[in-house]
């Protein structure tokens, strides 16, 4: 059974529900993670600290839809920052992305960003490399139609996940999974 969304022109568009919603989310998630893990691997094989895991559907900024958000942090040798920044930009270009860059400097700290906006599996990808060796990667998928609460129940069930169920450290080469054995599919 598909939900209906009204658009500004009076037309209706069916929102995916049930298995269709789950399959669309699963496909996006695996593509999103594979692409992001490729970026992470260019910088550091890991493990990376997980700040936002990336599998929980978020509705922030998506009206009635959902998206995935992911944040990872690590530290590299400060002498390698410029080379890794260039390697990330080259990797993304070789994967078909157009990249922007931004350099920021204050009196004591400088950083450079590699940014992808509104392309492929990304609404926004920001790779921030700080001259002291700290690295932050944030990735947001495009918004997709569907009920984020329904999708969340299908992935995680009704109750909270046990502490430590999702890893707090992860390497780009670790197996990627979607959903949990507590989901309601």
> Given this model, what pLDDT does residue 13 score?
66
pLDDT per residue as tens digits for the range 133-174: 999 999 999 999 999 999 999 998 887 777 877 889 999 999
> Given this model, what pLDDT does residue 14 score?
78
Is residue 179 included in any domain, yes or no?
no
Q: What is the pTM of this model?
A: 0.87
Helix axes 81-94, 18-43, angle to 10 degrees: 140
Is residue 116 included in any domain, yes or no?
yes
**Interacting residues of 73 by C-beta distance below 8 A, sequence separation 6+:** 48, 49, 51, 134, 135, 136, 137
Is residue 183 included in any domain, yes or no?
no
List the domain range (segments joined by +) for residue 71: 3-170
DSSP 61: T
Say if strands 48-52 and 134-140 run parallel, antiparallel, or are unpaired.
unpaired
Is residue 50 included in any domain, yes or no?
yes
Say if strands 110-119 and 100-105 run parallel, antiparallel, or are unpaired.
antiparallel
> Given this model, what pLDDT does residue 128 score?
96
The rounded distance, in Å, linking the Cα atoms of 99 and 89 is 7
> Given this model, what pLDDT does residue 166 score?
82
> Given this model, what pLDDT does residue 4 score?
46
> Low-confidence residues of the chain, pLDDT below 70?
1-13, 104-108, 181-185
Is residue 63 included in any domain, yes or no?
yes
Is residue 182 included in any domain, yes or no?
no
Backbone dihedral angles phi then psi of residue 168, each to the nearest 5 degrees: -100, -5
* CATH number of the domain enclosing 101: 3.30.2030
DSSP 58: B
Count how many domains the chain has: 1
């Amino acid at each position: 059974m598909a939900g209906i969304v009204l658009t500004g022109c009076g037309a209706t568009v069916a929102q995916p529900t049930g298995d269709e919603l789950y399959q669309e989310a699963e496909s996006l998630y695996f593509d999103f993670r594979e692409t992001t893990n490729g970026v992470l691997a260019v910088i550091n094989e890991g493990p990376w600290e997980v700040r936002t895991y990336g599998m929980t559907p978020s509705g922030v900024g998506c009206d009635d839809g959902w998206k995935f958000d992911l944040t990872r942090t690590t530290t590299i040798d400060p002498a390698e920052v410029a080379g890794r920044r260039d390697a990330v930009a080259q990797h993304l270009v070789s994967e078909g992305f157009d990249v922007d860059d931004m350099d920021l400097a204050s009196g004591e700290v400088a950083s450079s960003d590699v940014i992808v906006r509104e392309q492929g599996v990304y609404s926004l990808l920001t790779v921030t490399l700080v001259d002291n060796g700290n690295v932050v990667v944030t990735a947001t998928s495009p918004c997709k139609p569907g009920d984020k609460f329904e999708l969340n129940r299908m992935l995680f069930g009704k109750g909270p996940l046990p502490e430590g169920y999702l890893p707090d450290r992860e390497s780009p080469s670790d197996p990627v999974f979607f959903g949990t054995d507590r989901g309601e599919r």
